[in-house]
Amino acid sequence: MAGINGSMAHLSDSIFTTSIAVYALAMVAYTAEYAFGRRGRIADTAVLAAPARELVGAGGTVLTKDTPSDIPSVVEIDPTTGKRSFADRAGWLAVALTVFGALLHTGSIAVRAIAVDAVPWSNMYEFASVAGLVGVVAFLGVLWKAPSIRHLGSFILLPVVLMMFLAGTVLYSKAQPLVPALQSYWLAIHVTLVSIAEGALMTSAVLTALYLVKVRHDRLSGKPGYVPGRVGTLASRLPAADVLDKTAYRIVAFAFPLYTVAIICGSIWAEAAWGRYWGWDPKETWAFIVWVIYACYLHARATAGFKGKGAAWVNLAGFGAITFNFLVVNIVVSGLHSYAGLS
């Protein structure tokens, strides 16, 4: 086992901090677009005209190679000046900053990998960083297919930045070589799959929360004497409820099989490392709970009386369980998966 390259580890930390700052700037730009733009309402109608572009396809591949020509133009022209509006420029700046932030973020993870000479997701700090990156990349992927949701960027970046901040402060642990139990190629496979699945499920949860806001807004705004409050104004600029719901579902349809494979890989590893494929270790138990809740979500969407709002709450409960599994089970509950790196 090679030792730790201290200067590389230090470099990784600096890039990590920079990427948080860049994401934060991107959030400001997204918020500017959201606040000053008419995108929201335009997106609403545009999306209604050509509902729910497919985001994620069968077997987890991002599909639809043919970039359809009927995507509503994202460039918003100010009719009086003929120039692109402030909000539009803010939006594009935000996307550019997000891409830049994601590149830095990737760089920080890559440098950390060089520093520890292993896959850099063996403790909470590293896992949070990787899952955050997956969340951002998932959002950029969605954006690629459905540019009309661009103004929602800050909703995705907010949890990512919060998580990265938490990772960099509370959960931070120094670059360390792997303990014997983690010295397995399954670390790369199992944890990568988990972080991709959970990053995607986070994006789904954000869209689901927005869906609930939108549904409530739609219900209230139909009533006479409705005066939109702060949330109402926000909600009027969201894409149609139906689009949010279906997009959230497509992401789960992609992430659920992935999460299943991740658990199976974890079992194969547990069989080699601990002598049994399943032992109700707290982490395993919560993986089971998360899996069952998302199974509930998929069933709820097909059951009368649970469709729509009911299923949406189940989706949020699933993400709540993921969060619990990540934070509480790692920090408070002790078990075989205690690799938090906190002491």
Partner 1 sequence: MASALVGGSVVGTIWRPIRQTWRRLTSMRTALILLFLLAVAAVPGSLLPQRPLNPDKTTSYIKTHGALGHFLNRIGAFDVFGSVWFAAIYLLLFISLVGCLIPRIRLHFKAVARKPLPAPRHLNKLPESGSFVTAVTPAEYATVARRTLGRRWRVVTRTEESGAVTLSAEKGYSRETGNLLFHVALLVALVLILIGHLYAYQGTRIILQGADQGFCNTVSQYDNWQPGRFAAEGKISPAPFCVDEMSKFIATYTSEGEASQFQANIVYRRTVDSAPEKGVITVNHPLRLEGDRVYLIGHGFAPEVTITMPDGSVRHDVEAFVPEDATTFLSDGAFKQAGPAGANKDVGVSGFFAPTPQTTGNVVTSIAPQANHPILGINVYEGDLNYQGLPQSVYSLDTSKMKELGQANLAVGETRSFKNGVSVRFDGWVPWASLQVSHDPSQGYLLFAALAMVLGLLGSLGVRRRRLWLRLTPSSDTTGPSPTVVAVGGLARSDSGNFSSEFSALIERLEAAGQPAGIVPVKE
Q: In sequence order, which ranges of 37-85 are alpha helices (DSSP H)?
A: 39-49
Identify residues 143-202 at the interface with partner 1 (CB under 8 A): 176-181, 183-184, 186
Near partner 1 by CB under 8 A: residue from 218, 306, 313, 320: 306
Residue 27 or 244: the one with the smaller Cβ distance to partner 1 is 244
DSSP per residue, 146-179 = -GGGGGGHHHHHHHHHHHHHHHHHTS-----PPP
Read off the DSSP letter of residue 138: H
Q: Give the angle subtended at the CA of 31 by the CAs of 20 and 94, to the nearest 5°.
A: 55
For the CB of residue 187, give the shortest distance to partner 1 in the complex, in Å: 9
As a 3-state breakdown, the chain gives helix, strand, coil percent values, each rounded to 5, of 70, 0, 30
CB 139 within 8 A of CB 153: yes
Each residue 16-55 as x (binds partner 1 by CB under 8 A) or -, in order, gives: ----------------------------------xxxxx-
Residue 279 lies near partner 1 (rule: CB under 8 A): yes
Given the rule CB under 8 A, which of 26-34, 37-45, 126-134, 278-286 is the region that contacts partner 1?
A: 278-286
Per CB under 8 A, contacts with partner 1 among 56-115 are 57-59, 66, 68, 70
CA separation for the pair 33, 253 (Å, rounded): 30
Q: How far is the CB of 120 from partner 1 (least distance, A)?
A: 17
State which amino acid sits at residue 296.
Answer: C
The one among 136, 281, 316, 326 contacting partner 1 by CB under 8 A: 281
Find tokens 């409050």 and name the residue.
Answer: 229
Beta-carbon count within 10 A of 335 CB: 15
**Interface with partner 1 includes 307 (CB under 8 A)?**
no
User: Buried b vs exposed e over 87-122: b needs ≥16 C-beta within 10 Å?
Assistant: bbbbbbbbbebbbbbbebbbbbbebbbebbbbbbbb
Q: How many residues bind partner 1 (CB under 8 A)?
A: 67
The residue among 86, 85, 100, 110 whose CA lies nearest residue 25 is 100
Q: Let me know: does 251 contact 318? Beta carbons within 8 Å.
A: no
Binding pattern to partner 1, positions 248-277, x when CB under 8 A?
A: -xx--xx-xx--xx--x--xxx-xxxxxxx
Neighbours of 273 (CB within 10 A): 15
CB of 13 to partner 1, least distance (A): 18
Shortest distance (Å) from residue 302 CB to partner 1:
7
Among 106, 236, 285, 323, binds partner 1 (CB under 8 A): 285
Of 36, 92, 100, 288, which lies in the binding site for partner 1, with binding defined by CB under 8 A?
288
Query: Which candidate, 27, 1, 31, places its Cα nearest to that of 162?
Result: 27
Q: Which of 99, 113, 298, 327 is the binder for partner 1 (CB under 8 A)?
A: 298
Binding partner 1 by CB under 8 A: which of 282, 319, 326, 339? 282
Nearer to partner 1, 63 or 75 (CB): 63
Minimum CB–partner distance for residue 285 and partner 1 (Å): 4
> Would you say 85 or 325 has its CB closer to partner 1?
325
The whole-angstrom separation of Cα 171 and Cα 166 is 6
The residues that touch partner 1, with contacts defined as CB under 8 A, are 1, 3, 50-54, 57-59, 66, 68, 70, 176-181, 183-184, 186, 246, 249-250, 253-254, 256-257, 260-261, 264, 267-269, 271-282, 285-286, 288-289, 292-293, 295-296, 298-300, 302-306, 314, 321, 329, 333
